[in-house]
Structure 1
Amino acid sequence: MEIFDGFRKSIGLAMAGGKSPWGGKGEGGSSDGGDGGGEAPRGDDGNGPRNPWLPGGGGGSDSGKRRSANIEDIFKNRGPEGPRRRGGGGPRGPNLRLPERPGGKSWLPVIAVGILALWLLTSSAHLIGPQEKAVVKRLGNYSRTLDSGLQFSLPFPIETVEVENVEGVRPIRIPGNDKAAKLILTGDQNLVDLSYVVRWNIKDLETYKFRIVDPEQTVNEVAEAAMRAAVAEKELDETFSGQGRAAIEQDVKNRMQTKLDLYQAGIRVLGVEIEKADPPSQVVDAFRDVQVAEQNADAARNQAQGYAQQVLAQAEGEAEAFDKVYEEYRLAPQVTRQRLYYETMERVLSKTDKTIVEAQGVTPYLPLPEIRRRAKEAQPATTVTAQGGQ
């Protein structure tokens, strides 16, 4: 705006002085520009109207040079930081150059050869660990398998080498770290929450790399299918007992290995370990009550079996004693009969009150129980008197 205000003022002053701002003489002015100084710049031929975009000022050869009249050219030479400055003839920056070898030759070929040799060495020589093997792919296709040790191949990208640990144990926990319940149906229509670990490694590296897309996911799915099939053949109590768990683990391992060999997955199943076998969390209280009732039933059953064994042993002892008496009776029936009679009478009369009566005119009475009672009462009294006398 300041530029246009100045331009408008210059036009006003020129017209006030009798000059035309577009060149030529004004109505009352002279061709030399009057009081304003030198002649105003004109067009290229010097006769046209004055171009307001040309620099004003005095004469000289440079005073009439044209500046670009296109406003696009003005903004073309500007940037965000201001007007662009064209480089002059000043000194340039330092010229960087590699040092030369003795004899004036450049080090560039030597550096290139060294980089090429280093690339060939790093991409062709491979040190494979004792528990590792590697597959070689030539232009993306399988070529061969490399064993442990120092091995060589064609440089990259002609051949690529992928190293895998084939002896290391790789565990998979089912379910994963989210600790979600894994409910499995048993053979007696009950649900059990199982968590287990499958341990495996690589049996055939070629089939492992090229037969299956995701080995871990394959092992996970095969393990779940095998576990459900094995538990479906067992009852709930067998999944809680130690022997039942061992049988399930072995069955799952065999099923997994058979299925993975059918897939040609190149995987060896090392073992399956059941970490937890619990009832579902929704019915855990009722299940505990059932377990307590079963334990009480087992205790009562064991107690009854013990009593039955005791009675049976006593009956067997009495039968054996009777057999021995019968053997003696067969040898001497009269003596044995009389002896049995005496023993029976002795056993019966020892527990009853007895009265001895002798006939033959006078009937004496001998109260043996009363005499025995008086004797027992008199014995403590005698003892007390003897102690008082001392």
Structure 2
Amino acid sequence: MRGNGDDPVRDFLQDANFPRLPRGVMFGIVIVLVGLSMLLTVFYQVEADEVAVVQRFGRYQRQTDPGLHFKWPFGLETVTKVKAQRVLKEEFGFRTEQAGVRTRFSNRSYPEESLMLTGDLNVADVKWIVQYRISDPVKYLFGNRNPRKALMDASQIAMRTTVGDYTVTEVLTERRLEVANEVQQRLQTLLDLYDTGLRVVTVKMQNVTPPSDQVKAAFNEVNEAQQEKERKINDARKKYNEQVPLARGEAERTIAQAEGAQINRVNRAKGDVARFTALLTEYTKAPDVTRRRLYLETMRAILPSVGQMYIFDQEQSSSLLPFLDLKRGGGGLPIAPQKEQ
């Protein structure tokens, strides 16, 4: 039977001689296709770093953890997988073209992100990164239309607000860590307010410089001077910690020696006083005997240290007599002078 030309497709089907299949075979083929489709759409796999959000007729139903799960087939339930365990990163003021051992950055600048005004009305070029995770997959999918854009805008708001509370010197040098911590707190507050389902892991200040080369050079000198100042302060504290304990030890040793000398002198003085008092008591009782004893004791103490002694005697014709030194032995006996005939 030939077609009339009004419908080419119908004419082709009418002219083609396709073999006619039995109804049972056709029914079996349909059953197999339906079964395969059910098998393909009823199971799904969630990876280790993912969380699956299941929707039924477009409405949220449940979350599923990593592993093999099943759902209603034929699109009655749909699954959206979210990388909830992965730490994501956004860059501001610069872009990384290739990460690795030798990271390559883009030469393009992003002044609309990095240039901002400080509290002392100076302009700073601030580059930073934000690392974050998806903490609530439901809010991430349904709470905000574009969570990534909300994160980008909120990060710039938090950074500009915080930098505006500090001077350019503080942002460039000693208070960078404090600025980053404050930005992280403000950013997390904004993300919770916008129902993004994101949690900030960290905010890192990559590079903060003045905008122009001349101003940059001046601020680099200020930064170097600040670092030199800190280094000298640390060196001074090191020397202080080394010298002060030594000086204190020397002072304590000198004080101990002085106290020992004081005790010694006092004890000797007390001993001398006691000896003089006892001597005075004996002298009062027997003046002549005590005087002679003192004389003899004094001579006994002095004579051993005298090299040569002479005795003057008025009864001798020669009044000068050598004293016999018994310590020298018999070979050195002096000869007495002879009287003149």
**Which TM-score band (shorter chain)?**
0.5 to 0.7
Structure 2 partner of 1:194:
126
Percent identity over the alignment is 27
Residue pair 2:140, 2:196 contacting (<8 A) in 1 also: yes
Residue type matched to 2:177 in 1? A
Name which of 179, 182, 192 aligns with 1:248: 179
Change (3 A) 1:136 1:176: farther
Q: 1:167 is matched with which residue: 85, 99, 107?
A: 85
Shift of 1:214: 0.4
Deviation at residue 95 of structure 1 after TM alignment: 2.7
Distance 1:153 1:238 in 2: 56
* 1:283-294 to 2 correspondences below 5 Å: 284-289=213-218, 291-292=220-221
CA displacement, residues 12-69 of structure 1 (integer Å, 9 cap, x when unaligned):
xxxxxxxxxxxxxxxxxxxxxxxxxxxxxxxxxxxxxxxxxxxxxxxxxxxxxxxxxx
8 A contact 2:181–2:203 mirrored in 1? yes
Q: Which has the larger radius of gyration?
A: 1
* Corresponding residue number in structure 1 for 2:110: 180
Report the residue type matching 2:89 in the other structure: P
Is the Cα–Cα contact under 8 Å of residues 209 and 216 in structure 2 kept in the other structure?
no
For 2:48, the aligned partner's letter is P
Partner SS, residue 184 of structure 1:
strand
* 1:258 aligns with one of 189, 204, 229: 189
Decide whether the 8 Å contact of 2:139 with 2:196 is kept in 1.
yes
Whose helix proportion is higher, 1 or 2? 2
Which residue type is aligned with residue 121 of structure 2? Q
Q: How has the CA–CA distance of structure 1 residues 200 and 112 changed in structure 2, closer, same or farther, with 3 Å as cutoff?
A: same
Please report how far the alpha carbon of residue 269 of structure 1 lies from its aligned counterpart in structure 2 after TM superposition: 0.6
Aligned residue number for residue 64 of structure 2: 146
Find the aligned partners of 1:297 and 1:249 in 2 and give their Cα distance: 20
Say whether the 8 Å CA contact 2:93–2:128 is kept in structure 1.
Answer: yes
The residue aligned with 1:96 is: 18
RMSD: 3.7
Q: Write the distance in 1 (CA, Å) between the matches of 2:146 and 2:226.
A: 51
Matched ranges for 1:24-103 at <5 A: 95-97=17-19
Distance 2:140 2:23 in 1: 54
> Contact 2:210–2:219 at 8 Å: present in 1 too?
no
CA distance in 2, matches of 1:153, 1:297: 63
Partner of 1:273: 204
Q: Does 1:108 align with 2:37?
A: no
- Match for 2:145 among 213, 225, 228? 213
Letter in 1 for 2:109: K
Give the partner amino acid of 1:188.
D
The one-letter code sitting in structure 1 at the alignment partner of 2:25 is W
- Matched residues in 1 for 2:223 and 2:61: separation? 64
Distance 1:245 1:110, change over 3 A: same
CA apart distance, 1:97: 2.4
In 2, distance between residues paired with 1:138 and 1:209?
15
What is the TM-score of this pair, normalised by structure 2?
A: 0.55
Counterpart Cα distance in 2 of 1:169 and 1:220: 16
Aligned to 1:39: none
Question: Aligned pair in 2 of structure 1 residues 111, 298: CA closer, same or farther (>3 Å)?
Answer: closer
Instruction: Please list the CA deviations of residues 322-367 of structure 1 after superposition, one character each: whole Å capped at 9, or x if unmatched.
Output: xx9xxxxxxxxxxxxxxxxxxxxxxxxxxxxxxxxxxxxxxxxxxx
Residue 45 of structure 2 is aligned to residue 127 of structure 1? yes
Q: Secondary structure at the match of 1:144?
A: strand
Q: 1:112 to 1:197 in 2, by over 3 A?
A: same
TM-score by length of structure 1 reads 0.48
In the alignment, the residues of structure 2 paired with residue 297 and residue 270 of structure 1 have an alpha-carbon distance, to the nearest angstrom, of 30
Give the secondary structure class of the aligned counterpart of 2:74: coil
User: What's the CA shift for 1:293?
Assistant: 7.4
Measure, in 2, the Cα distance between the counterparts of 1:121 and 1:176. 47
How far is 1:171 from its partner?
1.0
Letter in 2 for 1:96: F
Question: Aligned in 2, Cα 1:161/1:220: closer, same or farther, shift over 3 Å?
Answer: same
Q: Which has the higher contact order (CA 8 A, sep 6+)?
A: 2
Which of residues 234, 237, 241 in structure 1 aligns to 2:166? 234
Secondary structure of 2:175's partner?
Answer: helix
Matched letter for residue 210 of structure 1? F
Alignment of 1:372-387 (within 5 A): none
The residue identity in structure 2 corresponding to 1:235 is T
SS of 1:113's equivalent in the other structure is helix
Alpha carbons of 1:122 and 1:286: their partners in 2 closer, same or farther (altered >3 Å)? Answer: same
Q: CA deviation at 1:297?
A: 10
Gaps of 5+ in 1: 1-76, 78-86, 307-312, 325-390
Task: Kindly state the Cα deviation for residue 262 of structure 1 after the two structures are TM-superposed.
Answer: 2.4
